[in-house]
Amino acid sequence: MDEMEEIEIVIVGGGICGLATALALHRKGIKSVVLEKSETLRSTGAGITIRTNGWCALHQLGVASNLRLTALPIQGGIDICLANGQQQEISIEMGEIRCLRRSELITSLAESLPPGTIHLGCQVLSITVDPLSSYSIIQLQNGRSIKAKVLIGCDGANSVVADFLGLKPLKFFSLSEVRGYTEYPSGHDFKNEYNQVRGDHSMIGRIPIDNKLVYWFVTHKANPKDVVAKDPELLQQLTLETIKGFPTEMLDMVKHSDRDSLSLARLRYHAPWDILQESFRKGTVTVAGDAMHVMGPFLAQGGSAALEDAIILARCLAQKRHEIDIKTNGSQVIAHKIGEALDKYVKERRMRLVRLSTQTYLTGLLIKKPPLLVRFVCNILMTVLFSDPTAHSHYGCGRL
């Protein structure tokens, strides 16, 4: 049998959260290894809106300045109701909103990591605990086993690490979303603003990335056809059917979109009431990003919240590192101290995530046009709990 490898910190998943966590640790002088199951780093979903709080985290990671060069600042928003043609301004935060190409964000994080940090083609199958050391033992699909002092699950919504922690199953919104890019080779003349058009059962949103590229999404009631819509051409056709009767400008945008950029996602969430009580730490194992708090895209905060996780988790581990003496402390003592650092991280994140996921959840419910009574209750809760609807983006993750 192969000897088991020992690695100090293992991060499962090389998405936004896993890479950001590895980079945050690296900035604090702490080595880690990222295990990514795919053979390449993936950037499914075309664009990603990063709000003020996300930019604060990117700044701490040292990648904000370069990323800013790739995307225009969004300066406002317009909402149009198709039924009555009414237009209204959408209040956006005083701060910074830009829509990035996901590939740009992933590349920027990955390229800032020391060589050898990311291990591609490494799918984690299961996790157990070594009773002697209290560290975790990770079983990979390729037959390798790794013993890790710290294990951080950034493996997204279908997280193996979340299963190990015993987190509650995800719930489904009755909504799906198609996302894509459209390139305007000689430039588009849209303003630097977010535009959305709401129909009876669907909604389209458009955000310029730069002067030639726009990111768009169509949110619609989940549909049995969603299952077969993996083929980009079919997905494009179905999306055009979904937004029949919408303004020509929007229809043309979808018609001329880059088919390779299209993707469809059934929207899921980790219920706010579960986030309030989950045990996000077992031994020296924890989770971050979608593995911890997948939420609907209605506030465009999932990715920014994942970046916040990365900063706070790295900070908590770095603070504890000074209390650990590898030469004199036994593994049980080290595991205990790591556990304390992870508890601090979870404590710092929990209420932030409960608020964020509650606001996202209520916004999602309202988009679905629920019965009058439900709408009434949701509106009251929104007014009472979130009187400033953009306050979620004023959160600061603090210094790394």
Judged by the rule CB under 6 A, the positions of this chain that interact with ligand FAD are 12-18, 35-38, 42, 45, 48-49, 123-124, 154-156, 160, 177, 179, 265, 289-290, 297, 300-304, 306
CB nearer to ligand FAD: give 70 or 123.
Answer: 123
**Phi-psi bin for 77: left (phi > 0), alpha (psi -120 to 50), beta?**
beta
- Per residue, what are the HEC states of the chain? CCCCEEEEEEEECCCHHHHHHHHHHHHCCCCCEEECCCCCCCCCCCEEEECHHHHHHHHHHCCHHHHHCCCCECCCEEEEECCCCCEEECCCCCCCCEEEEHHHHHHHHHHCCCCCCEECCCCEEEEEECCCCCCEEEEECCCCEEEEEEEEECCCCCCHHHHHHCCCCCEEEEEEEEEEEEECCCCCCCCCCEEEEECCCEEEEEEECCCCEEEEEEEEECCHHHHCCCCHHHHHHHHHHHCCCCCHHHHHHHHCCCHHHCEEEEEEECCHHHHHHCCCEECCEEECCHHHHCCCHHHCCHHHHHHHHHHHHHHHHHHHHCCCCCCCCCHHHHHHHHHHHHHHHHHHHHHHHHHHHHHHHHHHHHHCCCCHHHHHHHHHHHHHHCCCCCHHHHCCCCCC
Provide the minimum distance between the beta carbon of 360 and ligand FAD in the complex, in angstroms, as a whole number. Answer: 10
Tokens of 29: 């002088």
CB nearer to ligand FAD: give 133 or 360.
Answer: 360
CB nearer to ligand FAD: give 36 or 104.
Answer: 36
CB nearer to ligand FAD: give 283 or 364.
Answer: 364
CB nearer to ligand FAD: give 138 or 400.
Answer: 138
Tokens of 358: 């509650």
Provide the minimum distance between the beta carbon of 328 and ligand FAD in the complex, in angstroms, as a whole number. Answer: 34
Provide the minimum distance between the beta carbon of 130 and ligand FAD in the complex, in angstroms, as a whole number. Answer: 20
Provide the minimum distance between the beta carbon of 31 and ligand FAD in the complex, in angstroms, as a whole number. Answer: 19
CB nearer to ligand FAD: give 49 or 286.
Answer: 49
Provide the minimum distance between the beta carbon of 244 and ligand FAD in the complex, in angstroms, as a whole number. Answer: 21
Provide the minimum distance between the beta carbon of 329 and ligand FAD in the complex, in angstroms, as a whole number. Answer: 30
CB nearer to ligand FAD: give 7 or 17.
Answer: 17
CB nearer to ligand FAD: give 17 or 64.
Answer: 17
Provide the minimum distance between the beta carbon of 391 and ligand FAD in the complex, in angstroms, as a whole number. Answer: 16
For helices 302-321 and 52-61, the axis angle rounded to 10 degrees is 40
Listed in sequence order, the residues at least 6 apart from 209 whose beta carbon sits closer than 8 Å to its beta carbon are 47, 70, 71, 72, 99, 100, 101, 181, 215
CB nearer to ligand FAD: give 63 or 334.
Answer: 63
Provide the minimum distance between the beta carbon of 296 and ligand FAD in the complex, in angstroms, as a whole number. Answer: 8
Provide the minimum distance between the beta carbon of 15 and ligand FAD in the complex, in angstroms, as a whole number. Answer: 2
Provide the minimum distance between the beta carbon of 215 and ligand FAD in the complex, in angstroms, as a whole number. Answer: 8
Tokens of 70: 């790739």
Provide the minimum distance between the beta carbon of 357 and ligand FAD in the complex, in angstroms, as a whole number. Answer: 11
* C-alpha Rg value of the chain to the nearest Å: 22
Q: Strand 171-183 to strand 263-269: parallel, antiparallel, or no bridges (unpaired)? A: antiparallel
